[in-house]
């Protein structure tokens, strides 16, 4: 990969355009030094891996595979530990096994992991007891603690983000290929969980079926290598453009630009302005790109996004991640899907059932109802069924820990329970049991489709 200012100039064209949701760094010189350091760091991912994911996403767009994309709302530097990383990965592997086996579909597994450190916010400041400070924008920008010192954006944090992402990705790669993700471990992923939880028990039953199927294949003389490792990709929102463009490099094989901070990046609902910096940045890189589409998205917006981001109409290049809200999806999604399909574009359609269903509980906790999450996914499947298009996947905020951030699910978390283990730094995540419940229900919907 080449790293000189001239060769990566195409990754900087966004600088002439308005960039929403960027931190107000107090010291531009310090930022410049950090960018220079980041530019000298090695890539976190290889461009060829991004190409492979783009081809996997092509299968999703063509209706031949299903995307499971999930992980924290906001990763935190102090959660870069083996336990945290393992439990997230384990949850995703379990969900992947459920979807693959119960829905009989190849599942493309992508974590919101190893880079999801930056958050767009509704308000630039937060006021508590008469004190107003900058809002928390993710560990890549400032600290969560409500003090002036912690909340002041510090560009050195961008370097910590790089190192935290590198450490996380290193362990994820080790787990994915070093034996932990071997499908023969399908029971081991569940060990700490099965006795206490209905979804754990349901999973255990499915794991026994997977075992029998594998034993059967072995008895027939096939023991495929594919079962021993898992293809797992990283993704995050490409929000802080100084960071993303510092990690944008020319691929020596093709001469094209790749954002090597993660395999897939997405542009959020708050930064997808057609004439804005984020779309310009995304248009220059060859990674598979996601764009979040909220309930106000017009078909014209969607078509313009396709023209900007996927001019070649290449299946796998562009994923629309819709996040409409359970009460709106059945109204708003059909026109978008219809017009995009009629235009000849082959995007992947993925459902984020989290971001349109957030509300504040009386206790002040931001939360989501599991039933709303499920209903949005149902609406997503209904719309695609009605139009004969492919419901390509789900994008969820989840954790492997037994947090109490979303209400409902098989283990029945009530609004009054939220305080017990409310650990997210930003938005509420499904816990492990709710995540597995969702995987089973989605597998059922997929099978019926």
The number of residues that bind ligand PEP (CB under 6 A) is 9
In the list ligand E4P, ligand PEP, none, the entry touching 269 (Cβ below 5 to 8 angstroms by class) is ligand PEP
Count of CB atoms situated within 10 Å of the CB of 311: 10
350 vs 426, beta carbon nearer ligand E4P: 426
H helix runs in 1-120, sequence order = 28-40, 47-61, 82-103
Query: 116-150: buried (b, 16+ CB within 10 Å) or exposed (e) per residue?
Result: bbbbbeeeeeeeeeeeebbbbbbbbbbbeeeeeee
Beta strands in 201-252 (DSSP E): 232-237, 248-250
119 binds ligand E4P (CB under 6 A): yes
Shortest Cβ distance from residue 57 to ligand E4P (Å)? 22
> What residues have CB less than 8 Å from 151, skipping those under 6 apart?
133, 134, 135, 136, 142, 143, 145
Strand duo 248-250 + 257-259: pairing: antiparallel
d(CA 114, CA 112) in angstroms, rounded, equals 7
For residue 122, the partner it binds in ligand E4P, ligand PEP, none, with Cβ less than 5 to 8 A by kind, is ligand E4P
Binders in 27-66 for ligand E4P, by CB under 6 A: none
128 binding ligand E4P? (CB under 6 A): no
By CB under 6 A, tell whether 332 contacts ligand PEP: no
Residue 145: CB minimum distance to ligand E4P, A: 17
Interface of this chain with ligand PEP, residues 109 to 128, rule: CB under 6 A = 120
Q: Which does 237 bind (CB under 5 to 8 A by kind): ligand E4P, ligand PEP, none?
A: ligand PEP
User: Per-residue b/e over 178-209, b at no fewer than 16 CB within 10 Å?
Assistant: eebbebebbeebbeebbeebebbebbbebbee
In angstroms, give the least distance from the CB of 174 to ligand PEP: 26
Give dist(CA 86, CA 328) in Å, integer.
35
Check binding of 269 to ligand PEP (CB under 6 A).
yes
What angle, rounded to 10 degrees, do the helices at 370-387 and 329-342 form?
40
Per rule CB under 6 A, is residue 369 in the interface with ligand PEP? no
**Is 268 a binder of ligand PEP (CB under 6 A)?**
yes
Q: How far apart are CA 203 and CA 213, in angstroms?
A: 15
- By a kind-dependent CB cut-off of 5 to 8 A, residue 244 interacts, out of ligand PEP, ligand E4P, none, with none
Does 426 bind ligand E4P (CB under 6 A)? Our answer is yes
Pick the piece of the chain touching ligand PEP (CB under 6 A) from 42-50, 129-137, 205-213, 266-274: 266-274
Our finding on whether 355 is near ligand PEP (CB under 6 A) is: yes
Residue number, 71 or 200, with CB nearest to ligand PEP: 71
122 binds ligand E4P (CB under 6 A): yes
Whether residue 418 contacts residue 361, with contact meaning beta carbons closer than 8 Å, is answered with yes
Q: For residue 323, state whether it binds ligand PEP (rule: CB under 6 A).
A: yes
Residues that bind ligand E4P (CB under 6 A): 73, 119-122, 355, 426-427
Residues that bind ligand PEP (CB under 6 A): 73, 120, 237, 268-270, 292, 323, 355
């Amino acid at each position: 990969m080449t790293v000189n200012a001239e060769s990566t100039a195409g990754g900087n064209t966004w600088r002439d355009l308005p960039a929403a949701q960027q931190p107000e760094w107090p010291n531009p010189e310090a930022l410049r030094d950090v960018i220079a350091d980041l530019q000298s760091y090695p890539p976190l991912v290889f461009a060829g891996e991004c190409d492979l994911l783009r081809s996997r996403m092509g299968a999703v767009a063509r209706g031949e595979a299903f995307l499971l994309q999930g992980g924290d709302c906001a990763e935190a530097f102090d959660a870069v530990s083996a336990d945290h990383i393992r439990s997230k990965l384990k949850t995703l592997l379990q969900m992947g096994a459920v979807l693959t086996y119960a829905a009989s579909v190849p599942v493309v597994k992508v974590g919101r992991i190893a880079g999801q450190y930056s958050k767009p916010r509704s308000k630039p400041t937060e006021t508590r007891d008469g004190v107003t400070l900058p809002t928390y924008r993710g560990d890549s920008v400032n600290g969560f603690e409500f003090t002036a010192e912690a909340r002041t954006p510090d560009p050195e944090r961008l370097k910590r983000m790089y190192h935290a992402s590198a450490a996380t990705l290193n362990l994820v790669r080790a787990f994915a290929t070093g034996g932990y993700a071997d499908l023969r471990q399908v029971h081991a992923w569940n060990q700490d969980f099965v006795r206490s939880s209905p979804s754990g028990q349901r999973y255990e039953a499915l794991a026994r079926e997977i075992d029998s199927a594998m034993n059967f294949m072995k008895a027939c003389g096939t023991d495929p290598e594919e079962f021993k490792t898992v293809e797992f990709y990283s993704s995050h929102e490409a929000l802080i453009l100084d960071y993303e463009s510092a990690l944008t490099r020319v691929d020596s094989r093709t001469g094209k630009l790749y954002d090597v901070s993660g395999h897939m990046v997405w542009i959020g609902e708050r930064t997808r302005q057609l004439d804005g910096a984020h779309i310009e940045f995304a248009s220059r890189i060859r990674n598979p790109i996601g764009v979040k589409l909220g309930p106000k998205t017009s078909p014209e917006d969607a078509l313009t996004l396709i023209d900007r981001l996927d001019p070649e109409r290449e299946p796998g290049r562009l994923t629309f991640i819709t996040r409409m809200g359970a009460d709106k999806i059945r109204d708003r999604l059909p026109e978008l899907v219809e017009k995009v399909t009629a235009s000849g574009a082959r995007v992947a359609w993925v459902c984020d059932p989290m971001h349109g269903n957030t509300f504040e509980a009386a206790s002040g906790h931001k939360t989501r109802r599991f039933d709303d999450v499920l209903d949005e996914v149902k609406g997503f499947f209904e719309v695609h069924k009605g139009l004969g298009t492919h419901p390509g996947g789900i994008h969820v905020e989840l954790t492997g820990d037994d947090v109490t951030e979303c209400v409902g699910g098989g283990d029945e978390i009530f609004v009054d329970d939220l305080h017990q283990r409310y650990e997210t730094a930003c938005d509420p995540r499904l816990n492990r049991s709710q995540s597995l419940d969702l995987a089973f229900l989605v597998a059922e919907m997929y099978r019926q489709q």
